[in-house]
C-alpha cells in the first residue's frame, strides 16, 4: 500500500482517542420552566450535564428517568473503541490493503450498529410513556430528534454530535481514504510519470 495510507490509519486511530475525552452527542432542551436550557452530554462511558433536571421535566410528560447505570452500552462502548484502536494500530503497522479494508468494514458495521442502537433508545425513550403522567395527550410521543431540532408541545429539543462524535466521523472518513485512496494516489503517480506503488 501507499505510505500515505499507513499514516492515515494511524491518524484515524488517534482520532478515536478523542471519543474518551469529549462527548459523543449533545442534546439541548428548552422549555418554559427552563428558558436558559437544559443540556445533556452522552459520553462513551457516561452521561453528563443537567441530567437531574431533565428527569424532572420528563416526569411530567411520562418519560422514564434516564439512569446511566442501567444503560449497558455505556459499559461496553469503551471496550469496543479500545478494540478498534488496537486493531487499527496493527493494521497501520502491517500496511496491507486487505487488512485495511477489513478494518474499515468492521469500523463501519460498528458505527451503523451504534447509530441504530441510539435511534432505538431514543424511540423507546419517547414512546414508552407512563400512563400515570401528570400531563397526558393521547397519541402524543416525545422522541428526541435523532439529529437536528424538533418542537414537541412547548418543548424544543436539539440533538447534534459532540466533539467526540465529530472526531469519530473524521476517523472513519480517513479510514476510507486509507483503504480506497490508492486509486487517487496511483492516478497521481501516473500523472507524474512514476510507477504505481
Residue 197 has pLDDT above 50, yes or no: no
Residue 166 lies in a domain: yes
Q: Global pTM?
A: 0.83
Smallest CA-to-CA distance from 13 within 103, 118, 115 is with 103
The domain total for the chain is 1
13: domain range?
Answer: 3-187
Smallest CA-to-CA distance from 80 within 47, 43, 110, 101 is with 110
Encode pLDDT of 9-51 as tens digits. 999 999 999 999 999 999 998 888 888 899 999 999 999 999 9
Residue 196 lies in a domain: no
**Alpha-carbon distance 9 to 13, whole Å?**
6
Residue 8 lies in a domain: yes
> Which of the four pLDDT bands, split at 50, 70 and 90, describes residue 192?
low
Q: What is the mean pLDDT of residues 104-116?
A: 95
Residue 61 lies in a domain: yes
Residue 106 lies in a domain: yes
- Give me the chain's average pLDDT, please: 86
Cβ atoms 45, 74 nearer than 8 A: yes
Smallest CA-to-CA distance from 67 within 121, 16, 6 is with 121
Q: Which of 77-86, 87-96, 125-134, 167-176 has the lowest mean pLDDT?
A: 125-134
Residue 112 lies in a domain: yes
Residue 197 lies in a domain: no
Encode pLDDT of 124-150 as tens digits. 887 787 777 777 777 677 788 889 998
More confident residue, 95 or 2: 95
Residue 85 lies in a domain: yes
CA torsion, points 71, 73, 75, 78, in degrees to nearest 10? -150
Amino acid at each position: 500500500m501507499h505510505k500515505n495510507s499507513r499514516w492515515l490509519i494511524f491518524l484515524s486511530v488517534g482520532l478515536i482517542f478523542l471519543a474518551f475525552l469529549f462527548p459523543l452527542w449533545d442534546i439541548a432542551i428548552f422549555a418554559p420552566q427552563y428558558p436558559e436550557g437544559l443540556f445533556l452530554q452522552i459520553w462513551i462511558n457516561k452521561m453528563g450535564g443537567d441530567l437531574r433536571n431533565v428527569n424532572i421535566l420528563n416526569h411530567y410528560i411520562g418519560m422514564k428517568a434516564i439512569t446511566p447505570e442501567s444503560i449497558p452500552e455505556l459499559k461496553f462502548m469503551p471496550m469496543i473503541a479500545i478494540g478498534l484502536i488496537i486493531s487499527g494500530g496493527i493494521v497501520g503497522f502491517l500496511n496491507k490493503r486487505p487488512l485495511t479494508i477489513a478494518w474499515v468494514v468492521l469500523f463501519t458495521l460498528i458505527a451503523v450498529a451504534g447509530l441504530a442502537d441510539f435511534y432505538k433508545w431514543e424511540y423507546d425513550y419517547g414512546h414508552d410513556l407512563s400512563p400515570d403522567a401528570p400531563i397526558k395527550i393521547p397519541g402524543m410521543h416525545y422522541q428526541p430528534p435523532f439529529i437536528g431540532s424538533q418542537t414537541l408541545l412547548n418543548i424544543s429539543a436539539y440533538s447534534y454530535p459532540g466533539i467526540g462524535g465529530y472526531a469519530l466521523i473524521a476517523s472513519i472518513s480517513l479510514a476510507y481514504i486509507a483503504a480506497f485512496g490508492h486509486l487517487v494516489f496511483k492516478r497521481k503517480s501516473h500523472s507524474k510519470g512514476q510507477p504505481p506503488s
